[in-house]
Amino acid sequence: MMIKLNETHDVDLQSWVDSANSATTDFPIQNLPFAVFKVRNTDQGYRAGVAIGEYIVDMPAAQKTGLFDDQLKAALDLLSLDTLNDFMQLGEPTWSAIRLTLSRALRKGSQHQKSLEGCLVPQANAEFKVPARIGDYTDFYTSINHATNVGKLFRPDNPLLPNYQWIPIGYHGRSSSIGVSGQSFHRPYGQLKAPDQESPVLAPCKRLDYELEVGIYIGKGNTLGAPIPIEESEQHVFGLCLFNDWSARDIQGWEYQPLGPFLSKSFASTVSPWIVTMEALAPYRQAWTRPVDHPQPLPYLDSLQHRETGAVDMKLEVLIKTPSMENAERVGLSNFNQAYWSIAQMVTHHSVNGCNLMAGDFFGSGTQSGTSKDSMGALLEVTEGGKHPITLSNGETRTFLEDGDTVILRGWCHNEGLPRIGFGECSGTILPPVARS
């Protein structure tokens, strides 16, 4: 789990791709995240690409330039496929070698500039898909602020359940309805039951919400029956993305006992197209802490190295754009470094019973919220269960989302003296419910 800085993190690196040198770009040469794309309105197949400024390096095209060493040929062949799963399974040394080769080739003064220029595709011309075939998806509940805020709505005197501070809570969700940024979906139907009703009804959701989350892609898997020690956990993580786990709060309220969320979550979830590697995030690792008056993790979820570098300083923003608004408006800003449970702890706990994780498996971090109203990651929290609507700058109000609303998530790492490492956007739009006969 050692966090290692190398030449790809050099803050003085500049690229011959001019847009990558902008102070506001999400994709400087120090980032180089992966996605799966094709050129819009063509019959080309999907393949892997790497972001640099406003462009994408078409990886199969780059392979043909002779840029990469022969020992990386097998890995490059896998980047011509329409998912990253097989590439993810190769492991950290291969991911790092590909990233280093690209970093050197994209730097100012590189002898490969002329040959690589023909491999660049404008991001504006690209169509993306979910970058991995997600076999299994587990959603966690790692923000104690979110858990406390939600718990207060239902259990004011005891908002946190007894196990929360001992175990990374998670449930298995539905991977088939995860879509890529730009996803639109119809307002879901489900069973709804108001407290004063004798029986439920089938009706469109009335309390539709967003959830500001971080997505975690598993890279190299583990063998069934072989738990992943916390010291090795991040070697099994390919990278992070943004994740909106849309939630139908009224459907959820009726169905969630005793087994947790079901149809209230499985109608749609949205990921950003880019996966930022754990290596790119190395300069933004921070100490993971647990208040001294709280229960401390059991030994399998704790280590000195994890305490020193287990957190990620990643700012997270959620914006709403209603049909009558010209520009999206921020409604929340938080930071992933406040998560009560870390990436490493999620991976280790998920496998402690012998569960075999597989390349492309996906974790949601759970809604990431801060302590103030403007740092909360779901309308359920901001409006206190719908009791206190928010007012947008154009005078519109929202307790929960309405048809036509677009929700945009953004995330980035940036500190003085370090380049901005961004995640792009994760956007989704709500369509009216489909009429039922």
Query: What letter would DSSP give residue 236?
Result: G
Q: How many CB atoms lie within 10 A of CB 218?
A: 28
3-state DSSP of 189-218: EEEECCCCCCCCEEEECCCEECCEEEEEEE
Q: Please, which residues bridge with residue 436 across strands?
A: none
Using DSSP, how many helices (H) and how many strands (E) does the chain show? 10, 26
Ramachandran sector of residue 375 (left: φ over 0; alpha: ψ -120 to 50; beta: rest): alpha
Residue tagged active-site, from 112, 146, 306, 349: 146
CB 36 within 8 A of CB 46: yes
* Cα–Cα dist 396/154, whole Å: 28
Distance, in Å, from the CA atom of 390 to the CA atom of 384, rounded to the nearest integer, reads 10
What is 357-368 written as a DSSP string? --TT-EEE----
Q: Return phi, psi of residue 346, to 5°.
A: -60, -45
Angle subtended at Cα 323 by Cα 320 and Cα 326, rounded to the nearest 5 degrees: 75
Q: Please, are residues 1 and 233 in contact by the beta-carbon 8 Å criterion?
A: yes
Is 9 annotated as catalytic?
Answer: no
Task: Give the three-class secondary structure for 317.
Answer: strand
* Residues known to be catalytic: 146
